[in-house]
Structure 1
Amino acid sequence: MSFDGTSAVLLLAHGTPDVLGEMAEYLSKVTGGRALPDEVVKELQHRYAEIGLRETPGLEPPPLTKWTILQGRLLETALDGQRVYVGMRNWHPYIADVVTQMRLDGVTHIKAVCLAPQNSRTSVGLYRSAVLAAAAGMEVEFVAGWAESPALALAFAERLWPVWAQACAESGRRVPVLFTAHSVPCRTIMTGEASVAGARPGTPVQMTPDPYPVEAKRTAQMVAERMAGVGFGDRDWYFAFQSQGISGGPWIGPTVEDTLKAIRAEGHAGVVMQPVGFLCDHVEILYDIDIAFRKSADELGLKLWRAESLNDSDVLVRALAEVVTGGYRATVDEMTVPAGV
C-alpha cells in the first residue's frame, strides 16, 4: 500500500452501545436482525451496567469505543499522519457511514484491518462483507488475520510479565497462566470452505476448516515463547475459550469455568488470566473476567489476577503499523469492488 492523498487505513471493531436503553437495538445488529428474548437483553444490560454503562451518556464513551478510537489516533501518528479511520460493525460509527466519509474525503484505496487478530471466516467475514458492501468502486486491501505478528505477541508478553511475576511472588510458588480468546458457535467452524477460488459447480475441491481456533492458540503459544526468557515454560500455561453465548446453541471450548476447575484440581491456588483475542477493555474483559470469572475462581479457592489489556500499548501500535505497511506479512485479500455491487 502506497501512502498518498487517496489512500487510508480503516480499523474495524465490533462496536458497543453508548447507553443501556440501546441494548436491544444493538443486539439486533449483532444477531443480524434476530430478536433475542427479553431475559437475554436484561442480563446484558445488567453486565454493561456493572462496568459503568448508564441510561444517559457519560463523560466519555464506553471502553471499547474509547480505546479503539485512541488506537486509531496513535496509529495515525505512528504512520506519520497517514489517515486512519475507525468503523464499527454493530454500532456507531458504522462501517458504512465511515466508508462514505472516506469517499467524500477523496479516498479511493482502503487498507482495512480487523482489530481481531485471529481470522474467523464467520466473524471476520462479516467485517469483510460490510466493508465491500460500502466500498463500491474503491480499491480494498482487507487484512483477514495477523495472529502470528511477533510485535503483537511482544505486546501481550509485556503486559503479562509484571502481573505473572507479582502473582508468583505473592503466592510463593509458580502460578499458571490461562490464555483465552472469545468462543464462537460450533457451527461457524464446522463448515468447510472451498480452497479453490472460482471452482465450477460440481468440481471436487478440498474443504478446509476455519482457522480461528488454531490461530487463537498460536497467538497464545507465541506469547508464551516471548516469556521464555524469564523462565516461563510450556507447563506454565493453559488455554480456554471464554464468553460463550447465552442465547443457545453449542459453542467451542474448553470453557474458562471448566479449565479453572481443572487448574484447581491440579493443586494450584491461583491463576493469571490474559485474553489474547482482545486488544482493549470491553465487557468480555471488564465483566466476564473481572467479575464473573473472578467469582468462579473465588468459589474454587483460586486467587485470580488479570494482565492489563493492551489498550494504548506502544507495541500494539507498532504491530498495527507493521501490518499496514507490510513490515509483517498478514493474510491480505486484494480486490477492487465494482461500482454498483
Structure 2
Amino acid sequence: MGGPSTVEETHDFLKNLFSDNDLIPLPFQSILAPYIARRRTPMIEKQYADIGGGSPILRYTQIQGEGMAKLLDELHPDTAPHKPYVAFRYARPLTEETARQMKADGVTRAVAFTQYPQYSCSTTGSSLNEIYRRGKSGEFGQDISWSVIDRWGTHPGFIEAVAQNIEAALAKFPASTRSETVILFSAHSLPLSVVNRGDPYILEVSASVSAVMERLGQSNPYRLVWQSKVGPSKWMGPQTSDALKGLARLGKKQVILVPIAFTSDHIETLYELDLEYVKEARELGIETHRSESLNESPVFIRALADIAAEHLPYQMGLRCPGCVNATCGQQKDWFSRGGR
C-alpha cells in the first residue's frame, strides 16, 4: 500500500485508498471516497505526526530492495545488473510514476515482487491489477517481459527472520517466566465478505504463524489475532484489542505482539501496535513488548534475494471461487503470457 512520507501527503493517500474498488468496494465510490478521505484525514494526520511526521515504509522498502539487488548481483552475475523499483498502490511513488521511470530506463525484463508475504485479492491482487492495467496500455514500455512473485509467507528465510526477532523480544522477560509469555501474531484483518468468497489470505497468514512456531519449537502459547478493522461490516476476528482484554481476564501477565503480515514499520506497527495496543495491555496489567519489524534485517534481505532468484508461479493462476472481478481474470491471463 505504501504510506505518506510526510503528514501533508495523508489526504492524497487516503483518497487513493478509499477509491480502490479492489480493496474497499463502495457504492458511488467516486463520491464517497473523497468524502471519507476528508473526514478521516485530521485523525490520521495526528497519528502520523505522533510516529514522527510520516511513514518510514518507503525508506525501509528502498533499503530492502537495494540490499536484495546487491546480493543478486553478487550471487547471480549472469542476470546482473539488478535494479529495484518501488511501486506503491496509494502513496508516492505510485505505480504510474514507477512505470514512467522503468520505461525511461529501457527495462525489458521485470519481476512484480509483492511485499505482502501472504496473498489477498484486496492487497496483492489490487497491486497486480494496477500493473496489468498500466502494462497493457504500454506505460512500462512495449517490449517488457513480466513474471510474478505473488506470495512467500512460508519461505524459510522469512520465517527465520521473524523467529529471530521474536526470540529477541522473549529475551526481555525473566528466564523463569519466559515460557509463560503469550505470543500474539497480529495481522491486518479482512472483511468476512472477502474471506467467504475464497480469498486465501487467512489460510496463508495461518501457515506463516504455524511455520514460525515450528521454528521456535512450539516454545510458547500463541494465538493469531487481527487488527485495523474499518467500518461497520463484519471482519475477521478476534481483534487484537479484544484478545488483550481476554488474556488479562485469564490472568496472563506477559505478551509479545508480532506483526506477521507486515515487513516494514508503518502506521499499523508504530501507532496501532506500539502506541495503542501496548499501552492498553500495560493498563490491563500485562507486560507487553513488540517483536521488531523486519526493516533492515540482513536475514530478511537475503531471503528476498533467494525468493527473487528462485521464484515460481505459485498459485497465481487460480481465481477465488467467488470472484466477481473481471480485471482479476484478465490480469492473471496477461501475466501468464509474460505481460503480452
TM-score, L = length of structure 1: 0.81
The 5 Å alignment of 1:84-99 reads: 84-99=84-99
8 A Cα contact 1:322 1:328, kept in partner: no
Per-residue deviation, 1:299: 2.4
Counterpart in the other structure of 2:70: 77
Per-residue deviation, 1:144: 1.6
CA distance in 1, matches of 2:100, 2:211: 38
Counterpart in the other structure of 1:122: 122
The one-letter code of the counterpart of 2:262 is F
Give deviations 1:255-282, integer Å, cap 9, x for gaps: 1011112222222112011111000111
Counterpart in the other structure of 2:296: 312
CA distance in 2, matches of 1:170, 1:46: 40
Counterpart in the other structure of 1:198: none
Give deviations 1:118-173, integer Å, cap 9, x for gaps: 00012111100111122234322122211111111011001111211222438566
Change (3 A) 1:27 1:172: closer
8 A Cα contact 1:74 1:317, kept in partner: yes
Counterpart in the other structure of 2:258: 274
More helix by share: 2
8 A Cα contact 2:18 2:37, kept in partner: no
Counterpart in the other structure of 2:43: 43
Aligned length: 296
Structure 2 SS opposite 1:180: strand
CA distance in 2, matches of 1:190, 1:123: 16
The one-letter code of the counterpart of 1:153 is I
The one-letter code of the counterpart of 2:238 is P
Percent of matched pairs sharing the same residue: 28
8 A Cα contact 2:180 2:254, kept in partner: no
The 5 Å alignment of 1:1-341 reads: 14-32=1-19, 34-35=33-34, 36=36, 38-53=38-53, 62-80=55-73, 81-136=81-136, 137=142, 138-169=144-175, 171=177, 174-191=180-197, 209-228=198-217, 232-233=218-219, 236-245=221-230, 247-326=231-310, 330-332=314-316, 334-338=336-340
Give deviations 1:172-199, integer Å, cap 9, x for gaps: 66211111111122222222xxxxxxxx
CA distance in 2, matches of 1:334, 1:328: 12
Structure 1 SS opposite 2:258: strand
Per-residue deviation, 1:329: 7.3
8 A Cα contact 1:179 1:276, kept in partner: yes
Structure 2: which 5+ residue stretches go unaligned? 20-29, 74-80, 137-141, 317-334
8 A Cα contact 2:187 2:226, kept in partner: yes
CA distance in 2, matches of 1:218, 1:65: 27
Change (3 A) 1:51 1:116: same
Per-residue deviation, 1:248: 3.6
More strand by share: 1
The one-letter code of the counterpart of 2:288 is L
The one-letter code of the counterpart of 2:202 is P
CA distance in 2, matches of 1:129, 1:179: 29
The one-letter code of the counterpart of 2:205 is A
8 A Cα contact 1:323 1:329, kept in partner: no
8 A Cα contact 2:56 2:265, kept in partner: yes
CA distance in 2, matches of 1:37, 1:17: 14
Per-residue deviation, 1:104: 2.0
